[in-house]
Amino acid sequence: MSKDYGYLRVAAARNITVPAGVSKNCNSIISQMKQSSGMECDICVFPELSISSYNCGELFRQRLLLDAVNKALIEIVNVSNELKGIFIVGFPLAEKGILFNCAAVITRGEILGIVPKTFIPGNNEYYEGRWFTAAYGNTIKDVVIDNKRIPFGTDIIFSNADRKIETFGIEICEDLWAPVPPSSFLTLNGAAVIFNLSASTDIIGKASYRKNLVRSQSASTISAYIYSSAGVGESTTDTVCSGHSLIFENGRLMAENNRFTRNTSLIFSDIDLDYLNHERLNNSTYSQSSQIYSPKKDYRTIFYRRKSIKNNHLERKIYPYPFVPASVDDLDDRCREIFNIQSTALSTRLTNSSINSAVIGLSGGLDSTLALLVVIESFRDLELDLNNIHCITMPGFGTTVRTKGNVEKICFQLGISLETIDIEAAVLQHFNDIGHNKEIHDITYENAQARERTQILMDKANQYNSLVIGTGDLSELALGWCTYNGDHMSMYSVNSGVPKTLVKFLIDYYSKYVATGEISEILTDIIMTPISPELLPPGKNDEIIQKTEETIGPYELHDFFLFNAVRCGFSPDKVFFLAGIAFKEKYASKEISKWLKLFYKRFFSQQFKRSAIPDGPKVGTLSLSPRGDWRMPSDADSSDWVF
């Protein structure tokens, strides 16, 4: 990557530790420092007390051990001058008659700062508290190592002087288990990344608890959390260590190692600092918490300049379908949840409106089919008569036998009435009224059909005392791919929070787990039907000529653009960069660039449609509702976004 897109390559190393084997531990640390540097890692963290080992017992009070640790630390510092990146190692430090459990932050041949452990488990008779002192009451502000004065304390945040978003803090093992971990305050004072040096022992169930704890802290603090715990070499007497390493980003697992192995381990991932910063700016709870709690403690910022690392590739998976879970089980759960959200929302609207009837226009396409399935689930939930679902299909100039046939089949199989109203004569009359040549297949030709259909649905709703159920999806709203006051309008829009790439999976889920027999076959054919508004005449063999994705581009690309540009707040060049990685096997850079420019142009120019959309349930974290989620001026200038 020649440009800084906001990534930070972090690593969690597990060295081979021998209790009190300082020389061996030091050699193992140096070996992994070189490995981390070779992998272009920006910051690498080692386990708690990794130089001495955690399980030294009374040996922590031996001058020989402490002197050996000091010598090893200086050796590690000297080696760092030849390597790229920052290294965080654990060691015991005796200062003014007090023994602290510490982390040293090392780069370019110097120790930037030393952070002691805030909370010590046990007391002065048992466990760690027998040897170490908790740092929460510490007043020491600096220490001297190798004749150099070094900042010391739990009130330290490290920040890259050349890169404002690169800030990190440190806590050690037990600190995370506290009711209010130090990392909560560190992050509220600006730290985007937390490194935890640990020597957590293992018992049944603890690994999953530990993992959930790290995940939760990463999510609640909107941070990246890198956790490195001591390996099996620390297993001694009555305790066993597994060497658990974890990397989380805002609650999302980025990397995890194998536990209970006897070799070294180094996991790494590229953390998106740009994304974390966007999430914090977008989260009012974070900013409010920062104002309430951050003044309670003054933090010192230690600025650093590390050797520049230019990574040529991204060490994180860029999934091309951000709205669609990769796991089959997760996808099924997601689909089930979305159906529940959509149908519950519609049930509530029907109940509060004292209406027990719905009107829906069916085209035989994906969106109207999904809307119909949602209506059915809602009616079943309310125990309403399915005969009160009034399905209307309105064939026009572009309707094909395939789509019309699927509408007829699905309604017949579901036992729902279907009314067919041909709109050709009405539209031709309208062309005559406004003086439009029917042979000119322009935007007037197309939109007149869409508005005629909407007029019919609205009037039918008046006849039946019903709600008109909208069918348009989130992707169409983003692109403005709808006719203003045509399919753009309804009385309740159940699909407005569902992106196009997810619609087919929802229908497929219904086909597999809810529908039976021939209904499943019909739904499968609908999924396979090309996406089209069917407003232009079909081909000679009744094939669909007007294919939406040939005009505006692949929806899989637009949904990727939408997620990264709106949900993550990324710049156009970063969206382009990520799309190039995600779709490198499918689309050339030139094609991605073409559709990305179109996406931004349409997203900006079509805001006026989104400013006037009907109510609809929010399904995921991204919504374009002008009332609750996306407020944007209709006349915003897109020139800085169309690169």
pLDDT for residue 540? 82
Geometric angle at alpha carbon 550, from 545 and 552, rounded to 5°: 125
Candidates 40, 48, 171, 279; catalytic one: 48
Confidence of residue 131 (pLDDT cuts 50, 70, 90): very high
Same domain, yes or no, for 286 and 345? no
Contacts of 558 (CB under 8 A, 6+ apart): 475, 478, 479, 500, 552, 595, 599
The 10s digit of each residue's pLDDT in 611-635 is 999 999 999 999 999 998 999 999 9
Distance CA 613, CA 626 (A): 8
> Is pLDDT above 80 for 350?
yes
For residue 226, the cross-strand partners are 195, 247
pLDDT value of residue 81: 95
Q: Are residues 406 and 266 in the same domain?
A: no
Residues 175 and 271 placed together within one structural domain of the fold: yes
Specify whether 434 is located in the same domain as 286: no
The answer to the question of residue 271 being in a domain is yes
| % of the chain surpassing 90 pLDDT | 83
Same domain, 395 and 278: no
User: Which of 55-59, 350-354, 452-456 bottoms out in mean pLDDT, i.e. has the lowest?
Assistant: 55-59
Any domain includes 636: no
Q: pTM for the complete prediction?
A: 0.92
pLDDT beyond 60 at 124: no
For residues 60 and 187, membership in a common domain is answered with yes
Is 173 catalytic? The answer is yes
In which domain, by residue range, is 340 found?
A: 328-547
Which region among 142-151, 242-251, 284-293, 454-463 has the lowest average model confidence (pLDDT)?
Answer: 284-293
In this predicted structure, the answer to whether residue 2 has a pLDDT above a threshold of 80 is: no
> What are the angstrom distances between the C-alpha of 4 and each of 38, 165, 309?
20, 11, 10
Identify whether residues 14 and 79 lie together within a single domain.
Answer: yes
Are 146 and 77 within 8 A, CB to CB? yes
Residue 493: what residue type?
S
Measured between alpha carbons, how far is 381 from 358 in angstroms, rounded to an integer? Answer: 14
Look at residue 261 and tell me if it is in a domain: yes
452 is a domain residue: yes
584 lies in some domain:
no
Average pLDDT, the chain: 93
Strand partners, 68: none
When mean pLDDT is compared across 205-219, 297-311, 357-371, the lowest value belongs to 297-311
Q: Is residue 588 part of a domain?
A: no
User: What is d(CA 232, CA 234) in angstroms, rounded to the nearest whole number?
Assistant: 5
Residue 47 lies in a domain: yes
Q: Which of 496, 527, 547 is the last residue of a domain?
A: 547
User: Could you count the other beta carbons within 10 Å of the beta carbon of residue 630?
Assistant: 16
3-state class (DSSP) for residue 146:
coil
Nearest to 229 by CA among 191, 192, 267, 193: 267
Query: What is the per-residue pLDDT for 296?
Result: 63
Is 290 inside any structural domain? Answer: yes
Asked whether residue 93 falls in the same domain as residue 151, the answer is yes
| pLDDT at residue 610, as a whole number | 97
The DSSP element (H or E) to which 143 belongs, if any, is strand 142-145
H or E element in which residue 211 lies: helix 206-220
248 and 205 both lie in a single domain: yes
Position 306 pLDDT exceeds 80: no
- The domain tally of the chain equals 2
Where is the domain boundary, 492, 523, 547? 547
Phi and psi for 272 in degrees, rounded to 5? -95, 95
Confidence band of 490 (pLDDT split at 50, 70, 90): very high
Residue 211 annotated to the active site: no
pLDDT at 126 over 60: no
CB 381 within 8 A of CB 344: yes
Q: First CA to last CA across the chain, in angstroms?
A: 19
Weakest-pLDDT range from 53-57, 209-213, 222-226: 53-57
φ/ψ (deg, to 5) at 148: -125, 135
Residue type, 188: L
Last residue within a domain, chosen from 525, 547, 569? 547
pLDDT per position as a tens digit, 12-65: 999 888 899 999 999 999 999 999 999 999 999 999 999 999 988 899 999 999
Which residue in 26, 102, 117, 315 is the catalytic one?
117
Is the pLDDT at 142 greater than 60? The verdict is yes
Q: The domain that contains 157 carries what CATH number?
A: 3.60.110.10
Closest C-alpha among 192, 100, 110, 193 to residue 153: 100
Residues 463 and 499 in one domain: yes
Alpha carbons within 13 A on the beta-carbon side of 89: 32
| Same domain flag for 163 and 15 | yes
Higher-scoring residue by pLDDT: 608, 262: 608
**pLDDT score of 95 more than 60:** yes
On whether both 299 and 343 belong to a single domain, the answer is: no
**pLDDT tens digit string along 417-443?**
999 999 999 999 999 999 999 999 999
Helices (H), 258-326: 273-281, 284-293
Which position has the token pair 């508005």?
A: 451
Per-residue pLDDT at 104: 98
Beta-carbon contacts of residue 330 (< 8 Å; ≥ 6 apart): none
Percent of the chain, pLDDT > 70?
Answer: 98
Residue 331 — pLDDT band, cuts 50, 70, 90?
Answer: very high
Mean pLDDT value across residues 101-126? 89
Q: Which position among 26, 173, 241, 568 bears the catalytic label?
A: 173
